[in-house]
Chain A
Amino acid sequence: MKKLLLASVAGAMFAGAAGAEDIKLGISLGLTGPLESIAPAIQKGAELAMKEVTDSGKLLDGSKIAPVAADNTCVDAAASVAAVERLVTSEGVKGIMGGMCSGETIASLEKVGVPNGVVMISPSATSPALSTIDDKGFFFRTAPSDARQGEVMADIALSRGVKSVAVTYTNNDYGKGLADSFANAYKAKGGTVTIVAGHDDGKADYSAEVAALAAAGGDALVVAGYADQGGSGVIQGSLDTGAFETFVLPDGMVNDVLVTKFGTALETSFGQNPSAEGDGHDKFAELAKAAGFDGTSAYSGEAYDAAALIMLAMQAAKTSDPKVYKDKVMEVAIAPGEKIYPGELAKALELIAAGQDVDYVGATAVELVEPGESAGVYREVDFKGGKLNVIGFR
């Protein structure tokens, strides 16, 4: 009898919790560290979405969202795990917008997010390793994986009639991941990769690399490196020795630095970098401006979208329990349904409450693909006439 009483009391309390509540959402970013300059705009992007939802009063019968920020340092995995641990255990957050950098995101997801059953949506971690990680459905990202960039790059190269390439990459997680994903996609689509060779940044001499790439040959050279580092050293050497004339350049290289350095020598070269376009992007920029920050700053829009997805999924699952609403994230993010742009979160919440389907587009044209990451929009560029020209989006 006593037990029954207790159970019914507990049941009554639980039922009460389904009504209006104060929900805490974590924000895990490298507020200090190598990316500290872009972190504030990311944080503000996420907080903007949370404020919009709170002000609407339509989430789970008028629940309020309170953001709690934590500094994950971006480079120190242990610090990141500690920061996220604090968010989960002492703050009791119901979801986390973060992490920021691939390495620390993997660490905090494996050590804290998955074991505690908290949803994490990263706005900016792009490593292909996060696609295959065993996340038990708790991890999503609104940034595209570099595996996706490899696919896009392979498509662009083939569509321009480049049938065989040599690949060089900067010897780190970014370069290696991107080079591998490109090489696999390119081969699968029928292209030939003659060699995949790394180069180290900041070295005295790149003639060995250029010699190896030239000996392997190819219609073009793919340079998955950095424009102000070894990437341009390799390009310089290739141009001087006549090894390659056409270069395929991913996001680390598509940069005005390259144009000032090589000018018209890149006439036949091309590349791509992630960039959103369209109505959602413009609307978010306006909202951000009104809120007093720069919405075009890197990954700020992705952060708004990440936070919005968490809250819309809660609404769709009718609970703030991450173990339940994790299954709704994909549902609200993809078609079919009414398209939702930045500033329309109230409308989205109403529609979901009325049992209708929504397709969240947001600031960055979110289109999540399995296993829960952005399909990604890339802009294709070329360097005709010694300028950086945008050709189109894909």
Chain B
Amino acid sequence: MDFLNALVAILNFVVIPAAAYGAQLALGALGVTLIYGILRFSNFAHGDTMAFGTGLVILVTWGLQALGISLGPLPVALLALPIGIALCSAFVLGTDRVVYRFYRKKKSDSIIMVMASVGVMFVMNGLTRLLIGVDEIRFDDGARFLISVQDFKAWTGLTEGLALRLSQALTLVVTALCCWALFRFLNKSRSGKAMRAYADNEDLALLSGIDPERIVRLTWIIATALAVTAGTLYGLDKSFKAFNYFQILLPIFAAAIVGGLGSPIGAVAGGFIVAFSEVAVTYPWKKIATYLGFQPEGLLQLLSTEYKFAVSFVILIVVLLFRPTGLFRGKAY
């Protein structure tokens, strides 16, 4: 029984929250890595693309709710998501037309593109605030819990409770679906193969008749879809606050770099590595140890929670020192 309690405590406080957070980071990192792999620059505006897209999704959600539409236990935001993605993609394609295309035509250095993306980031930052404001917004409706602590305790008779929020389950399922679809698209479809060819060697791809502008457009649309999905899932799970999306950019980049920039599998792995290291390394094992029959004096905490960000950056530095291209051999331009 005590062993089960220990297991449930770890699941409840470490595994489930870290998995959901990791999935959100993974989706974000996938978008960053795609843009890096194919368009060859680190897109700093990614976090604000998430915020802007999620803002659009929230507006559409409100519209749908006003029309009396409900998905039962599922949040209406899922229905609004495709519309949000479409609107946000249109906007992002607009920024490509206005900003990035100019530098791409000039074959500018990647650092110039990065700086341009910082400019785009600030513009989107402002636009998001104009669109929806700076306040915290909760837009999850439907059921909140799949398993709530009280139900779980009554059901199993354990002293430790287990909570699984609908938004967490949803995040994991949607992330799995997105990854599956993306990998299938990149490996099997004609366009996906064209994208990979373009990423490998731009000139050769041109010679074999691949339209570069089409590849660029496709990349932006896919990256935006991933960003808006990640942003919406994150907003459903926690809450929407424009500023938080700017903050989440850092762990997303850490995830993408740890996994190897340009490598989609690496991005997914990196997302989970960053999330689990943040939660697990700062977790005090006292309770678990007590359940397992030990009587520890202290908290058995490796690092206090103030240092949780240090953890992912230590991993980042170690990876860069020993495997500069990341765990999954990404690219370096």
- Interface residues of chain A, those whose CB is within 8 Å of chain B, are 171, 194-195, 197-200, 202-205, 207-212, 214-217, 228, 233, 236-237, 240-243
- Contact at A211–B163, with CB atoms within 8 Å? no
- Contact at A205–B21, with CB atoms within 8 Å? yes
Residues of A within 8 A of B12 (CB): 241-242
Question: Closest residue of chain B to A195, judged by CB?
Answer: B299
Number of A-B contacts (CB under 8 A): 94
Partner of B299, one of A204, A209, A216, A243: A216
- Contact at A195–B149, with CB atoms within 8 Å? no
Question: Closest residue of chain B to A210, judged by CB?
Answer: B13
Partner of A216, one of B150, B243, B286: B286
A171 to B9, CA, bound (A): 27
B237 to chain A, nearest CB (A): 9
Residues of A within 8 A of B313 (CB): none
A215 to B305, CA, bound (A): 12
Residues of B within 8 A of A241 (CB): 12-13, 17, 149, 161, 163
* B304 CB–A CB distance under 8 Å: yes
A137 to B121, CA, bound (A): 52
Residues of A within 8 A of B21 (CB): 204-205, 207
Contacts of B217-258 to chain A: CB distance below 8 A: 234, 238-239, 241, 243-244, 247-248, 251
Q: A204-B247, A208-B279 are in contact. List 15 more A-B contacts (CB 8 A).
A: A197-B304, A204-B248, A205-B278, A207-B21, A207-B279, A212-B299, A212-B301, A215-B13, A215-B284, A215-B288, A216-B286, A236-B238, A241-B161, A242-B163, A243-B13
Residues of A within 8 A of B244 (CB): 202-204
- Contact at A228–B247, with CB atoms within 8 Å? no
* B81 CB–A CB distance under 8 Å: no
A171 to B150, CA, bound (A): 32
- Contact at B308–A208, with CB atoms within 8 Å? yes
A262 to chain B, nearest CB (A): 11
Question: Closest residue of chain B to A194, judged by CB?
Answer: B299
Residues of B within 8 A of A236 (CB): 238-239
A280 to B26, CA, bound (A): 59
Once A202-B243, A208-B305, A208-B308 are accepted as A-B contacts, the answer to whether A242 and B286 lie under 8 Å apart by CB is no
- Contact at A215–B247, with CB atoms within 8 Å? no
B185 to chain A, nearest CB (A): 28
- Contact at A212–B278, with CB atoms within 8 Å? no
- Contact at B163–A240, with CB atoms within 8 Å? yes
- Contact at A208–B284, with CB atoms within 8 Å? no
Question: Closest residue of chain A to B28, judged by CB?
Answer: A204
- Contact at B13–A203, with CB atoms within 8 Å? no
* B100 CB–A CB distance under 8 Å: no
- Contact at B161–A242, with CB atoms within 8 Å? yes
- Contact at B284–A212, with CB atoms within 8 Å? yes
Most buried by B among A171, A205, A241, A242: A205
Residues of A within 8 A of B150 (CB): 242
- Contact at B305–A199, with CB atoms within 8 Å? yes
- Contact at A211–B306, with CB atoms within 8 Å? no
* B196 CB–A CB distance under 8 Å: no
Question: Closest residue of chain B to A242, judged by CB?
Answer: B149
Once A205-B278, A212-B283 are accepted as A-B contacts, the answer to whether A198 and B305 lie under 8 Å apart by CB is yes
Residues of B within 8 A of A199 (CB): 305
- Contact at B247–A202, with CB atoms within 8 Å? yes
Pairs across A and B, CB under 8 Å, 17 listed: A195-B299, A197-B305, A204-B238, A207-B13, A207-B17, A208-B278, A208-B279, A209-B305, A209-B308, A211-B17, A212-B282, A215-B287, A236-B238, A241-B17, A242-B150, A242-B161, A242-B163
A220 to B137, CA, bound (A): 27
Residues of B within 8 A of A204 (CB): 21, 234, 238, 244, 247-248, 251
Most buried by B among A199, A200, A212: A212
Question: Closest residue of chain B to A237, judged by CB?
Answer: B17
A171 to B149, CA, bound (A): 30
- Contact at A208–B247, with CB atoms within 8 Å? no
B33 to chain A, nearest CB (A): 19
A171 to B305, CA, bound (A): 11
A292 to chain B, nearest CB (A): 32
Most buried by A among B165, B251, B304: B304
Question: Closest residue of chain B to A207, judged by CB?
Answer: B17
Residues of B within 8 A of A243 (CB): 13
- Contact at A195–B247, with CB atoms within 8 Å? no
Residues of B within 8 A of A195 (CB): 284, 299
Partner of B285, one of A215, A217, A240: A215
- Contact at A217–B279, with CB atoms within 8 Å? no
Question: Closest residue of chain B to A240, judged by CB?
Answer: B163
Contacts of B102-156 to chain A: CB distance below 8 A: 136, 148-150
- Contact at B287–A217, with CB atoms within 8 Å? yes
B224 to chain A, nearest CB (A): 20
B309 to chain A, nearest CB (A): 8
A196 to chain B, nearest CB (A): 9
Residues of A within 8 A of B199 (CB): none
Residues of B within 8 A of A205 (CB): 17, 21, 238, 275, 278
- Contact at B238–A197, with CB atoms within 8 Å? no
* B14 CB–A CB distance under 8 Å: yes
- Contact at B306–A208, with CB atoms within 8 Å? no
B125 to chain A, nearest CB (A): 14
